[in-house]
Structure 1
Amino acid sequence: MNYPETVHYLFTRLPMYSRIGAAAYKGDLGNTIALCDILENPENRFKSIHIAGTNGKGSVSHMLAAILQCAGYRTGLYTSPHLHDFRERIKVDGKEITEDFVVDFVSHIQPHIDTIDPSFFEITVAMAFDYFANQEVDIAVIETGLGGRLDSTNVILPELSVITNIGYDHMHILGDTLEKIAAEKAGIIKRDIPVVIGEFREVTGPLFVRKAREKHAPIMFADRERSATNWSFEGQDMKIEVTIRHTDIKDYYTLDLAGLYQTKNLLTVLQAVQQLREKGWNIKDSALREGLAKTRALTGLHGRWERLHQHPTVIADVAHNEDGIRELIRQIEVTTFHQLHIVIGMVKDKDIRSVLHLLPQDAHYYFTQADIPRALPKEDLWAAAEDAGLQGKAYEDVNTALQEALGHAHKDDLILVCGSVFVVGEIDRGRL
């Protein structure tokens, strides 16, 4: 098989959560362990950082990878899902896995697929580990796919564990309370391995502390160590003032990620870097600042308050759950524009009504759906939105909806595309 045939095989032969939902989720680590055994346990041949969380884990993963790369370390990065090309999931020093490696890996593992019956995600995790070992990375930043305790990535023994935050998402799998969700995320906490928690919440903080004590794992809450005390936007960059708690000590950082929610992610990253330094990783202040200022450029991160067009401004953001949309609304409230247009599509297994009730009623809406079986039909989204007091029309696909929004927008308007990673991934940027 060539590369397109190989990717088609992966997408169609293996259960894929992003396309079909919970039916693709494997609730144990057995398949991943079996695949790693076949590959002679590549996960043991490189250092790693393990990152979980409801929101922010993608941004934190990319920031840390950029910083480590700037510090001179050969750095792997595994994230999911991808926006455009499968190879976005697996990178070394910002460069995507080669097509040849993907083809060769699948050819090698294919005889074992009928026996093991792995999911798409389990195969990609094993592929990432094999690639990082092959490339002899110094360290790899590994983002969980879903949850933590039973996530396929949870076979690694990392240098550091990071849990960004806890919110309501994937409740049909992880549980219907924040405590249950937190317990699943806390499953990445390992014995004697330090863990950084991005946000302390009264309902989940004690659970993390208890779990860390059970594992003798040093635990730090990033937002109890520092606070973001001021910020400003300069184009696609963001300037942030950070104050160390209970002191007058301030520092200033520039991010090439402009979303206001990145202030929380920055605090998590700063605490993670401090822990890595204490473990002996040589990360100079210049590397820290360069990595933060060039995260998008070095790692290819997209879909986080990303400006795709000006006059009118078109922003793409992958926010898709209640907490993510809340942060998006905060960003909208500090953004200057004449009229707001929102192109939105969602997937079936999200809490649709909670999201819709957060959205502003004075915006113009363009309801659509991604080209995946898991997508919520645009007519269903439109009907639920009308019940929530939102006005708009339904469109066949995201690009039709976006062109309609562009046709109605004034040059000073804001057009926001959100609601699903898959909707953002289907934007045809060449038409903007």
Structure 2
Amino acid sequence: MTYKATLNWMFTQLPMYQRQGKTAFKKDLTNTLALVKHLDNPHLKFKSVHVAGTNGKGSTSHMIASILQEAGYKVGLYTSPHLKDFRERIKINGNCISKKEVVQFINDNKTFFEQHQLSFFEMTVGMAFNYFAKQKVDIAIIEVGLGGRLDSTNVITPEVSVITNIGLDHVQMLGNTLSEIALEKAGIIKEHIPVVISEKQEEIQSVFLNKSLEKNTSIYYASDEIVSDYQSDLKGNYQQKNSKAAVQTIHILNTKGFHVSNSDIKNGLLNVIKNTGLLGRWQVLNEEPLIICDTAHNREGLAYVLNQLNEQNFNELHIVIGVVNDKDLERVLPLFPKDANYYFCKPNISRGLDAEELQKRAFCYQLKGEFYDSVQQALEAAKLHSSANDLIFVGGSTFVVAEVV
């Protein structure tokens, strides 16, 4: 198969959360365990850091990878979802896996995938583990896809486990309370493996503490351990919490045989985008008018981003917004400013919420504007109605941002 045909097969033949929502979520690791056995256990052939959380896990993963790259290590990075190209999910030192590698892996294992009815995510995890083992990375930073305890990545035994901010997202699968969701994320905590928690959230502290006691391991709250604020090329205010989690993780790795200097940490955080190719985090797309996009898509993430929007200087605010159809709008729409001009759109995926429906729902919260047939049309309309001193924000969904970066 060609690369395009291979991706089409992966995307359309098998269940995938990105396309289907909760019906793609599998509540056990049987398939992944069978897959890694079939692949000769590649996950046992490299060291790793495992990163879970509701918000910040992607940025934190990229920060850790960037710092280790600055220290001269060969660093694998597995994240999801991708924005522009599937291959963004699997990188070594910022370079995406080749199209040839993707095609070959699927061709070599297609019969096994079909026999076991593997999901898109399970296949992709297997591809990443296989690639990192084959390329003999020094360490791989592995981001959890969804949850933690039952996520396909949770067959690794990392050097450090990292858990970032916990919020009410994917409640259909992970639970209706912060404690239930935190317990799922805490499922990545392993026996005698230190765990870094990026920030203290009073209502769920006991969940992590109890799990760390059960697993006989040390727990580190990065917000307490790291007192310095670090500069980063990732400009969102929320990145301070992520950078502290990354730095604390590096400190622990230094006790386990890695050698990362303070200057490596500093340079790694200043060059995350250059070193790893991260997109869509408080990303400036244009200067006049200022156009900013961000992949924040749940209440906790959007609260940070919208607060930072309020700190900017502008004449008028224009917001291009689209969401997926299972988004809990009652939790996120009240956060948005009523005095902005809205441009409602539907991201170009089957799970996208119809733009006119979003417009109607938003009107209930005094958010007013027109709806458009596509993200690009909405953005063009926002540009048309903006002056040089205005600000345009594009967001609401990862899939909206994917169409503009």
Q: TM-score, normalised by structure 2?
A: 0.99
Q: Is the 1:75–1:140 contact (alpha carbons within 8 Å) kept by the matching residues of 2?
A: yes
Provide the C-alpha distance between the structure 1 equivalents of 2:274 and 2:14, rounded to a whole number of angstroms. Answer: 32
Tell me the CA shift for residue 303 of structure 1. Answer: 0.4
1:31 aligns with 2:31: yes
* Per-residue CA distance 1:47-86 (angstroms, 9 max, x = gap): 0000000000000000000001111110000000000000
More divergent stretch after superposition (280-289 vs 174-183): 280-289
2:241 aligned partner, one-letter code: K
Q: Is the 1:196–1:272 contact (alpha carbons within 8 Å) kept by the matching residues of 2?
A: yes
1:296 aligned partner, one-letter code: I
Tell me the CA shift for residue 308 of structure 1. Answer: 0.6
Tell me the CA shift for residue 36 of structure 1. Answer: 0.8
Provide the C-alpha distance between the structure 2 equivalents of 1:100 and 1:145, rounded to a whole number of angstroms. Answer: 24
Provide the C-alpha distance between the structure 2 equivalents of 1:41 and 1:71, rounded to a whole number of angstroms. Answer: 28
Partner residue in 1 for 2:386:
409
Equivalent residue of 2:76, what SS? strand
Ranges in structure 1 where 5+ consecutive residues have no aligned partner: 228-241, 243-251
Partner residue in 2 for 1:314:
291
1:192 aligned partner, one-letter code: H
Describe how 1:225-304 pairs up with structure 2 within 5 A: 225-227=225-227, 242=228, 253-304=230-281
Q: Is the 1:122–1:152 contact (alpha carbons within 8 Å) kept by the matching residues of 2?
A: yes
Provide the C-alpha distance between the structure 1 equivalents of 2:247 and 2:73, rounded to a whole number of angstroms. Answer: 18
Partner residue in 2 for 1:130:
130
Ranges in structure 2 where 5+ consecutive residues have no aligned partner: none
Partner residue in 1 for 2:397:
420
Partner residue in 1 for 2:155:
155
1:170 aligns with 2:170: yes
Provide the C-alpha distance between the structure 2 equivalents of 1:388 and 1:382, rounded to a whole number of angstroms. Answer: 10
Tell me the CA shift for residue 287 of structure 1. Answer: 1.0
Provide the C-alpha distance between the structure 1 equivalents of 2:381 and 2:334, rounded to a whole number of angstroms. Answer: 24
Q: Is the 2:68–2:260 contact (alpha carbons within 8 Å) kept by the matching residues of 1?
A: yes
Provide the C-alpha distance between the structure 2 equivalents of 1:219 and 1:98, rounded to a whole number of angstroms. Answer: 38
Partner residue in 1 for 2:101:
101
More divergent stretch after superposition (141-150 vs 217-226): 217-226
1:369 aligned partner, one-letter code: K
Instruction: Please provide the CA RMSD for this pair.
Output: 0.9
1:18 aligned partner, one-letter code: Q
Provide the C-alpha distance between the structure 2 equivalents of 1:404 and 1:74, rounded to a whole number of angstroms. Answer: 44
Percent sequence identity over matched residues?
51
Q: Is the 1:341–1:365 contact (alpha carbons within 8 Å) kept by the matching residues of 2?
A: yes
* Per-residue CA distance 1:207-237 (angstroms, 9 max, x = gap): 100000000011011112234xxxxxxxxxx
Q: Is the 1:260–1:330 contact (alpha carbons within 8 Å) kept by the matching residues of 2?
A: no
- Runs of 4+ aligned residues of structure 1 deviating over 4 Å after TM superposition are none
Provide the C-alpha distance between the structure 2 equivalents of 1:186 and 1:51, rounded to a whole number of angstroms. Answer: 11
* Per-residue CA distance 1:349-370 (angstroms, 9 max, x = gap): 2211211000000000001111
Tell me the CA shift for residue 29 of structure 1. Answer: 0.6
Provide the C-alpha distance between the structure 2 equivalents of 1:145 and 1:48, rounded to a whole number of angstroms. Answer: 16
Partner residue in 2 for 1:348:
325
Equivalent residue of 2:162, what SS? strand
Provide the C-alpha distance between the structure 1 equivalents of 2:215 and 2:238, rounded to a whole number of angstroms. Answer: 31
Describe how 1:6-155 pairs up with structure 2 within 5 A: 6-155=6-155
* Per-residue CA distance 1:312-360 (angstroms, 9 max, x = gap): 0111100100001100112112211111100011112221121100000
* Per-residue CA distance 1:146-172 (angstroms, 9 max, x = gap): 000000000000000000111110001
Q: TM-score, normalised by structure 1?
A: 0.93
Provide the C-alpha distance between the structure 2 equivalents of 1:88 and 1:267, rounded to a whole number of angstroms. Answer: 25
Greater share of residues in strand: 1
Q: Is the 2:230–2:240 contact (alpha carbons within 8 Å) kept by the matching residues of 1?
A: no
